[in-house]
C-alpha cells in the first residue's frame, strides 16, 4: 500500500513538474507598471539624451539584466557601454546672405536646426513638389512642398548630402520648432566626429513670406549662412547591454533593442516623461529578457540593448554599430521595440506594425509563426529610417522596429506620461512578442533582405 502511494505521489510530482515546465511565460502587468513608474518618473527628469538622467536609466536597465541572470556581452567587463558626445551651443543670431538679400534671425528668419558651423554654397530652387526627384546640391530652397511634410523634405535632403535646406514658414516648421523646445535644434556628434544614423542632417531654416520671395530670386547664386561662432559642450551617452549565451555558437546572435532616452526638461521646466517614447520599448526589452532568461538555454545567443541618445540622431546605436561587442556578421537579425504603449486605431486589436515590413522576409515569417505584426500603415512617414534599427540596417543587418501607435497624439508632447499609457495593451503587446523572439532564437531561419530592401 505504501509503495502504491509513493508511486502515485511520484507520478503526481512528475505531472506537476511537467505542467510547470510546459506552462507558458506570463508577463505580469505589475512588472510592466513598475518599470514604467521608475523610467517615466519625475526623478529621471525625462531621461535627456547624453545626460546623467539617461545614465541613471541605463544603470537601472543594467541592474535588471543582471538580476535576470544575463551576463556582460563578450569582451565587456560590465553591462554599460559609454560614448563621448559633442554638442554645439549657438552664441549668436544667424544671418542669411543670398544675392542681394540679407535676412537675420528674428527678422524673417527662423533657424530650426544647425550644425553649429557656417554654411556656404550655391542656391538651387526646387520648382516642383516631386520629392522623388530632389536634386543634389549644397543649398536647396523648396518653393512648393505640396503635400509632403517638412520631415519628408528634410530626410530626402539628408540623403542627397544637402548642407542647408530653406523652406517657407508654416504650421509644419512651427511644430518642429516646438519639438525642439522653442529653440534651435543642434546636431550632436560622437566625439570621433561621426554623425548619427544616416549621416549629417542639413541645417534647416524657415523664412517669412517676404524673406522667402527675396531669397528665391538668388537662384544659382552664392549663399552663406553665418553664425558668428559656437561653443562645444561635451557629454556621455550610455548603452545598457545584457547577453544570454546560446547553445550553438555557429547559429549566430539575435539583437533585441530599444532606446531609453527622451527629451529631458524643457526650458519652461516641463518634464517630458517619455512613457511611451520610449520607456515602453525599454520595458519590452526588459520583459522579453526576463522571459527568455528564465527558460532553457536558447540555440542562438541574444544581445539585449537599451540605447542612449536616439533622440539626438541615434548616436547610441551608431556607436554600438561601430563598436559591437561581437562581430556584426554574427548578428542574424535586429528587432527594435518603440512606442508600444498605445493601440493604433487603424490596426486590428492587439496588432503591432513593423517598419519596413516589405523590405525583408522577417516580418512575414514571424507573422506566419503567430506574431501579431503587420506592415506600416504610414509609409509617407518613413519610420523605418527613424529609429535605431536603421543604424544596424545600414550595416547590412536585417533590422526592423515594432511599434504600437507611431503617430499617437502624445508623441514628443508633455502628455506622454504614465496616465496616457494603455498598460493592458502594452502588457499584451509584450506578451505577444515573446513567442516570435523564441522562434527566432531557436530556429535555423536566417532573415534576408528582399531585392531593393537593403538600405544604401
Provide the pLDDT for residue 194: 66
The pLDDT of 209-213, averaged and rounded, is 94
* Residues 94 and 114 sit within 8 Å (Cβ to Cβ): yes
Decide which of 425 and 131 is more confident: 425
The pLDDT of 354-375, averaged and rounded, is 95
Provide the pLDDT for residue 11: 47
The burial class, CB within 10 Å (0-12 / 13-18 / 19+), for 409 is: exposed
Segment 282-312, tens digit of pLDDT: 999 999 999 999 999 999 999 999 999 999 8
Residue identified by cell 527662423 is 110
Segment 237-264, tens digit of pLDDT: 999 999 999 999 999 999 999 999 999 9
* Residues 404 and 340 sit within 8 Å (Cβ to Cβ): yes
Whole-number Å distance between alpha carbons of 425 and 405: 11
Helix or strand or coil: residue 426?
helix
Judged against a pLDDT cut of 90, whether residue 232 lies above it is answered with no
Decide which of 361 and 12 is more confident: 361
Provide the pLDDT for residue 16: 42
Judged against a pLDDT cut of 70, whether residue 190 lies above it is answered with yes
Whole-number Å distance between alpha carbons of 402 and 416: 19
- Identify which of 76, 37, 84 has the alpha carbon closest to the alpha carbon of residue 305: 76
For 307-401, where are the alpha helices, taking DSSP H only? 315-322, 362-368, 389-393
Phi (first) and psi of residue 436, to 5 degrees: -60, -40
Residue identified by cell 508623441 is 411
The pLDDT of 49-66, averaged and rounded, is 98
Compute CA distances 267 → 54, 182, 199, 201, 343, whole Å: 18, 8, 28, 24, 31
- 45: cell is 527628469
- Identify which of 311, 314, 304, 307 has the alpha carbon closest to the alpha carbon of residue 394: 314
The pLDDT of 1-9, averaged and rounded, is 49
Judged against a pLDDT cut of 60, whether residue 12 lies above it is answered with no
* Residues 104 and 93 sit within 8 Å (Cβ to Cβ): yes
Provide the pLDDT for residue 144: 85
Judged against a pLDDT cut of 50, whether residue 17 lies above it is answered with no
Decide which of 17 and 67 is more confident: 67
Lowest-pLDDT choice from 131-140, 349-358, 406-415, 416-425: 131-140
Provide the pLDDT for residue 159: 80
Going by pLDDT thresholds of 50, 70 and 90, the confidence category of residue 198 is: low
- Identify which of 148, 187, 320, 176 has the alpha carbon closest to the alpha carbon of residue 241: 320
Provide the pLDDT for residue 370: 87
* Residues 70 and 242 sit within 8 Å (Cβ to Cβ): yes
Decide which of 332 and 381 is more confident: 332
Whole-number Å distance between alpha carbons of 104 and 143: 20
Provide the pLDDT for residue 252: 97
Provide the pLDDT for residue 3: 53
The pLDDT of 154-183, averaged and rounded, is 88
The per-residue DSSP string of 154-190 comes to: HHHHHHTT-SEEEEE--HHHHHHHHHTTTS-EE--EE
- Identify which of 410, 403, 411 has the alpha carbon closest to the alpha carbon of residue 375: 403
Cα-Cα-Cα-Cα dihedral sign, residues 320, 323, 325, 327:
positive
pTM, two decimals, is 0.82
Provide the pLDDT for residue 311: 93
Whole-number Å distance between alpha carbons of 177 and 448: 39
Whole-number Å distance between alpha carbons of 337 and 339: 7
The pLDDT of 124-128, averaged and rounded, is 86
Cα-Cα-Cα-Cα dihedral sign, residues 419, 425, 427, 429:
negative
Provide the pLDDT for residue 20: 43
Crossing angle between the packed helical segments 281-294 and 423-442, to the nearest 10 degrees: 50
The pLDDT of 209-214, averaged and rounded, is 94
Going by pLDDT thresholds of 50, 70 and 90, the confidence category of residue 13 is: very low
Whole-number Å distance between alpha carbons of 435 and 255: 15
Count of residues in the chain = 456
Judged against a pLDDT cut of 80, whether residue 18 lies above it is answered with no
Whole-number Å distance between alpha carbons of 39 and 47: 8
The pLDDT of 321-347, averaged and rounded, is 96
Q: Which residues pair with 272 in a beta bridge?
A: 264
The per-residue DSSP string of 276-320 comes to: IIIIIHHHHHHHHHHHHHHSSPPSSEEEEEEES-TTTTSHHHHHH
Whole-number Å distance between alpha carbons of 209 and 232: 33
As a whole number, the mean pLDDT across the chain is 91
Amino acid at each position: 500500500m505504501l509503495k502504491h502511494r509513493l508511486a502515485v505521489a511520484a507520478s503526481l510530482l512528475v505531472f506537476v513538474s511537467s505542467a510547470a515546465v510546459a506552462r507558458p511565460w506570463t508577463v505580469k502587468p505589475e512588472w510592466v507598471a513598475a518599470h514604467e513608474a521608475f523610467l517615466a518618473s519625475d526623478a529621471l527628469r525625462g531621461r535627456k539624451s547624453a545626460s546623467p538622467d539617461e545614465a541613471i536609466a541605463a544603470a537601472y536597465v543594467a541592474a535588471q539584466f543582471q538580476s535576470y541572470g544575463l551576463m556582460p556581452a563578450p569582451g565587456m567587463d560590465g553591462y554599460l557601454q559609454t560614448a563621448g558626445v559633442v554638442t554645439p551651443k549657438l552664441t549668436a543670431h544667424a544671418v542669411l546672405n543670398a544675392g542681394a538679400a540679407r535676412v537675420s534671425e528674428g527678422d524673417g528668419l527662423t533657424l530650426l536646426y544647425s550644425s553649429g558651423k557656417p554654411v556656404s554654397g550655391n542656391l538651387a530652387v526646387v520648382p516642383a513638389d516631386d520629392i522623388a526627384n530632389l536634386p543634389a546640391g549644397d543649398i536647396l530652397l523648396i518653393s512648393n512642398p505640396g503635400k509632403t511634410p517638412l520631415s519628408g523634405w528634410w530626410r530626402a535632403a539628408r540623403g542627397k548630402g544637402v548642407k542647408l535646406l530653406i523652406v517657407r514658414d508654416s504650421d509644419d516648421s512651427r511644430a518642429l520648432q516646438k519639438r525642439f523646445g522653442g529653440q534651435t535644434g543642434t546636431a550632436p556628434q560622437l566625439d570621433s566626429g561621426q554623425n548619427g544614423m544616416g549621416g549629417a542632417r542639413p541645417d534647416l531654416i524657415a523664412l517669412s513670406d517676404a524673406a522667402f520671395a527675396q531669397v528665391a530670386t538668388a537662384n544659382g547664386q552664392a549663399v552663406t549662412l553665418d553664425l558668428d561662432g559656437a561653443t562645444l559642450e561635451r557629454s556621455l551617452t550610455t548603452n545598457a547591454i545584457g547577453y544570454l549565451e546560446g547553445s550553438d555558437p555557429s547559429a549566430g546572435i539575435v539583437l533585441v533593442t530599444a532606446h531609453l532616452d527622451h527629451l529631458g526638461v524643457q526650458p519652461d521646466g516641463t518634464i517630458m516623461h517619455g512613457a511611451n517614447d520610449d520607456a515602453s520599448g525599454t520595458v519590452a526589452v526588459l520583459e522579453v529578457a526576463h522571459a527568455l532568461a528564465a527558460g532553457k538555454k536558447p540555440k542562438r545567443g541574444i544581445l539585449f540593448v537599451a540605447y542612449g541618445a536616439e533622440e539626438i540622431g541615434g548616436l547610441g546605436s551608431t556607436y554600438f554599430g561601430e563598436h559591437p561587442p561581437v562581430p556584426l556578421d554574427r548578428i542574424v537579425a535586429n528587432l527594435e521595440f518603440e512606442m508600444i504603449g498605445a493601440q493604433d486605431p487603424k490596426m486590428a486589436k492587439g496588432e503591432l506594425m513593423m517598419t519596413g515590413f516589405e523590405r525583408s522576409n522577417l516580418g512575414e515569417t514571424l507573422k506566419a509563426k503567430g506574431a501579431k505584426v503587420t506592415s506600416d500603415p504610414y509609409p509617407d512617414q518613413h519610420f523605418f529610417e527613424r529609429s535605431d534599427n536603421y543604424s544596424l540596417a545600414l550595416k547590412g543587418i536585417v533590422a526592423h522596429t515594432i511599434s504600437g501607435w507611431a503617430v499617437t497624439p502624445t508623441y514628443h508632447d508633455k502628455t506622454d506620461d504614465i496616465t496616457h499609457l494603455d498598460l493592458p495593451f502594452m502588457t499584451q503587446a509584450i506578451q505577444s512578442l515573446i513567442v516570435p523572439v523564441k522562434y527566432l532564437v531557436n530556429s535555423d531561419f536566417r532573415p534576408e533582405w528582399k531585392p531593393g530592401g537593403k538600405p544604401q
